[in-house]
A and B are shown apart, each in its own frame.
Chain A
Amino acid sequence: MTRAALRALAAYWARAPLQLAMLLLGLALATALWSGVQALNTEARSAYASAEALLGEADLDRLEAASGRIDEADHVALRRAGWQVSPVLEGRADLGAARVTVLGIDPLTAPPRTGAAGPGLAADDLGAFLGGQGRGFAHPETLDAVVGAAQVDLRADTNVPVGTVLVDIAQAQRLLDAPGALSRLLIAPDQPTGLPPLADIVPHLDRIAPAGDGGLAALTDSFHLNLTAFGLLAFAVGLFIVHSAVGLAFEQRRAMFRTLRALGLPLRRLMVLALAELMALALLAGLAGLALGYWVAALLLPDVAASLRGLYGAPVPGALRFDPLWALAGLGMALAGALAAGGQSLWRLWHMPVLAPAQPRAWATASAAAMRAQGAGAAGLAVVALGLGIWGDGLVAGFALLAAMLLAAALAVPVLLAGLIALVGRAVARAGPVAEWLAADARQQLPGLSLALMALMLALAANIGVGTMVGSFRATFIGWLDQRLVAEAYVTARTEDEARALRAWLEPRTDAILPVWSVETTLAGQPARVFGTADHATYRDHWPLLQSSPDAWDRLAAGEGVLINEQLARRADLWPGAALTIPGAGAFDVVAVYSDYGNPRGQAMLGIDAFTAAFPDAPRRQHALRLPPEDVPALRADLQDAFGLPSTLISDQAAAKALSMAIFERTFAITRALNVLTLSVAAVALFASLVTLSGIRLAQLAPLWALGMTRRRLAVLDLARTVALAALTAVIALPVGVALAQVLLAVINVQAFGWRLPLQLFPADWLRLTGWALLAATAAAALPALRLARSTPGALLRVFATAR
């Protein structure tokens, strides 16, 4: 009995291969995008974990100098006093063809709890690590990039973050040209008793507790939440496809279910078989989806890595590893998604009376009550979104606001479309019977197409919203770059002596030499950088201030005030009038807040005199130069001749701007890729709905053909109807997208990155996007329309067959 029933159920799919393909495609796409995004998140998070474990800073206190450099003598003094400390030197250097982070450690003193003990340092490696030319470790990806670097013998190790080379401290000092220098000293958690206080031995060093905020993982949380939200959106859109296909299959098999039960198949058995069928299809689609998801993730990972590097400086490898747990979770999502999408059909099967009328209920018809309920749901969610917008606080509230807003808009789509179609219908009623029918028909087709149109609206709104956000960001960023990069050239000396010589040499050849001197420190409990700033028109006339007190620049020059960036101002709630303590320099009044896009960390600007007084040991090697722009090429050539400076240490304004813009574009590469993917899935959803509907569409159109409309005209009208519905959906998506952009700019970005951007509108981009959406809708509707135009009279006549 079971086998016969299974055969009867399966026979349906053999006769509806396109519908089966749509179901599998929908679920495979949903699984692919969801699991793809999860693979990206997992890969990135594991990279942060390895980075933090290697640096050993997640758990350990450390000693740092305000200048950013510690002398080796301090290390020796501490060890002699009995303190268990381990030196670390970190810096950037060119190795082979790549610029990498060189991390120098001492494996003999590194606290064993940390990854700083080094990866893969077996006893026989230790000698090689410490002695001779020195052996180092690097991620295989980094190894490929630095191939040919003769300075150090590198071995591959996946525990080392991408872009980092781990070497012995002496090797690091050699590679970084920093003899005797250290970046910090890690303090082992277990220390002998009776030690003299640190302040007595190294009073000039600050003991800094671990950040406790999870470092990169916390900093990048919002980025991964964004990715997850995109993945969920795509998953939901894919499930819309599955829901359509499963729903239609149920309706078309209603008579068969009834017959099977009438012939003696128990309802419970029928339910189990229907569920097994759904799960088998889900398993098949899930496996395909996993393969596709892995491929998508591998394709997107370089973009994600670029975004994470651009936004947070987070080291993420560009190659993907396979994780069986990820595959299992993806399959679980596929099965759960299929259950969610097919649940309604299964429920209806469970409640279907055995003597239900044999005439299939029109699948596409939905009651006015259902639409009213949907409208009420949309209104309720809109109120929730409004409430969250007014009273919500924090990143989670921001994302809840986004979710409520998008869900409300999606639920409102059929209601709004029905209203718009009614308006259009009234306007075209006098144009003729065909126009009137077309409007009435479009309205009646809405329930069947509503899920696909909701998906299209969400995809369009996401595209408009994210596009507007990125566009606003880009426009603001360009303006901001023009303000920030006023100097015509930037030059960096290799040593302090060279810097002094450079300043003397440049003095008569430039209009102004502006120091770009800075130290790493902690401000208001956050890692930050303090700059010394000259009193010059370059800053007074151009610096992008968001808020300031009237005499901000005078007070800065007098050493009474400090300027801070927006990120620090928002996170620490420091605005003009507040006081800020800079370790090693004292307390200052905040006199202005400036925009500082693209920098995840806090920043402060001190007057140059106050800076040099507080941080006499700060490196003074970088300078911004003011001179007529046309003199820059000659100066660059002279500098190279006079000092032998490599070209990488001299950059002009155009190059700096180009570099910044390139970083910006790379940062949003992943956004563009995800936008295209989401819109593509929505187009597939529309295609799937139209294909599945086309099975019952013939019966609706055959009478019109019989009444004297040609198949070609009906096909064209059907295509036009779909494109018109897509156009109306785009009209609805536009305000939703702009609202989404506003939430991203005013709520999410502020919470996630610490800066707020003004909303700018890009009508030309929206028009282009709408064009793409209409093209996608046309492509989605083309096949069903073509099938209709080419349908044989025999197929149409079957609709009128008296014996059914």
Chain B
Amino acid sequence: MTALAITDLHKSFASTEGPIPVLRGVSLELAPGASLALTGESGSGKSTLLHIAAGLEPADRGEVRVAGAAMTGTDDDTRARLRRGTVGLVFQQFNLIPSLTVAGNLAFQARLADRHDPDWTDALAQRLGLADLVARYPEALSGGQQQRVAVGRCLAARPAVVLADEPTGNLDEATGDAVLDLLLEACAEAGAALLLVTHSPRLAARCDARLHLRAGVVAAP
């Protein structure tokens, strides 16, 4: 069973000058434990594809299946349930919950999905170098530390697919590399498929495969 299957995905946004097509028939497949880099210029549709895959946005046409379950064509409740149970999200802006400690953030999605394993969460904290920071609040962490918490939060819930949108975009090169190393290794260890949206060919090269989008269609890089 594929972790993520996207078939003939179409999406356009309304504007005063008529609909602007963003995705025009994109298809891809991702096996469990595999990683795929999604590259392309700004406005090529990378983030939109990721948002539709996560069930954050509906598609106009086409199908998304996560761990065999249909994400498209379902209602908001179903998409929310699938998201918390099978999808892990890592954003460029970290988007931690400021009112919870590092420990609370790490365990949050796992507990939300009713899949909290304290040993696994502790191991992740150790693996991500967060063991000494669990009592802190996000505001007391550096950018790199916050992104590691975001990675840990998504993996603690043991998602089938990790969708990462420019996860190193707010970090310097060295910190970004370290975070990506951790993300790749942790996903592989957890058996989660990784779809990584990035501008950087250097980072894309570290994934198992690469898909380039240009004006909403898959193109040669």
Contact = CB atoms under 8 A, between A and B. Distances in A.
Interface string B34-72: 000000001000010001001011100000000000000
A703 B76 contact: no
Contacts of B51: 793, 797, 800
Interface in B69-86: 76-77, 80-85
Interface residues of A, number: 33
A700 B98 contact: yes
Given A703-B95, A710-B76, A711-B76, A796 B100 contact: no
A793 B47 CA distance: 13
A804 B166 CA distance: 13
Contacts of A786: none
Contacts of B146: none
B112 interface: yes
A444 B98 contact: yes
Interface in A441-466: 441, 443-444
B99 A708 contact: no
B89 interface: yes
B128 interface: no
A710 B109 CA distance: 14
B21 interface: no
Contacts of B118: none
B56 A708 contact: no
B57 A793 contact: yes
Contact of B104 (A436, A705, A711, A794): A436
A229 B87 CA distance: 58
Contact of B54 (A700, A703, A706): A706
Given A707-B108, A802-B166, A803-B42, A797 B80 contact: no
Contact of A707 (B83, B92, B165): B83
B209 interface: no
Interface string A677-702: 00000000000000000000000101
Q: Which of A441, A704, A707, A799 has the most CB of B within 10 A?
A: A707
A434 interface: yes
B92 A708 contact: no
B84 A709 contact: yes
A357 interface: no
Interface residues on B, range: 35 or more
B122 to A, nearest CB: 17
Contacts of A703: 91, 95-97
Nearest to B92: A802
Contacts of A434: 112
Interface in B98-142: 98-100, 104, 107-109, 111-113, 139
A702 B99 contact: no
A700 B99 CA distance: 9
A709 B80 contact: yes
Nearest to B101: A440
A710 B42 CA distance: 29
Contacts, number: 93
B93 interface: yes
Interface string A315-348: 0000000000000000000000000000000000
B91 to A, nearest CB: 5
Contacts of B165: 800, 802
B169 A708 contact: no
Given A433-B111, A437-B99, A802-B169, A708 B85 contact: yes
Nearest to B154: A707
Given A437-B97, A799-B95, A708 B109 contact: yes
Contacts of B169: 802
A487 B183 CA distance: 92
A631 to B, nearest CB: 75
Nearest to A439: B99
Contacts of B87: 708
Contacts of B95: 702-703, 706, 799-800
Contacts of B83: 706-708
A440 B96 CA distance: 13
Q: Which of A433, A434, A794 has the most CB of B within 10 A?
A: A433
Nearest to A429: B104
A802 B57 CA distance: 16
Contacts of B112: 433-434, 707-709
Nearest to A793: B57
A432 interface: yes
Contacts of A441: 97, 99
A558 to B, nearest CB: 78
A432 B56 contact: no
A55 B34 CA distance: 100
A801 B139 CA distance: 20
A732 B118 CA distance: 38
A769 to B, nearest CB: 31
Nearest to B58: A793
Nearest to A434: B112
A469 B75 CA distance: 55
Interface in A705-737: 705-712
A362 interface: yes
Contact of B108 (A433, A444, A711, A804): A433
B84 A444 contact: no
Given A708-B85, A793-B57, A799-B95, A437 B108 contact: yes
Contacts of B111: 432-433
Contacts of B139: 365
A433 B57 contact: no
A711 to B, nearest CB: 7
Contact of B97 (A704, A711, A796): A704
A434 B99 CA distance: 12
Contacts of B89: 706-707
Contacts of A793: 51, 56-58
B113 A437 contact: no
B13 to A, nearest CB: 8
Nearest to A440: B99
Contacts of B82: 708
B79 to A, nearest CB: 9
Given A433-B108, A793-B57, A802-B166, A708 B81 contact: yes
Contact of B99 (A443, A707, A804): A443
Interface string A226-243: 000000000000000000
B113 A708 contact: yes
B85 A433 contact: no
A594 B36 CA distance: 92
Nearest to A794: B57
B107 A433 contact: yes
A434 B112 CA distance: 7
A434 B107 CA distance: 11
Given A432-B111, A708-B82, A711-B76, 12 more contacts: A434-B112, A444-B99, A700-B97, A703-B95, A704-B97, A705-B80, A706-B54, A706-B56, A706-B95, A797-B56, A801-B47, A803-B42
5 contacts: A703-B97, A707-B83, A709-B80, A800-B165, A801-B47
> 7 shortest A-B CB distances, which residue pairs?
A708-B84, A433-B111, A440-B99, A703-B95, A444-B99, A708-B83, A441-B99
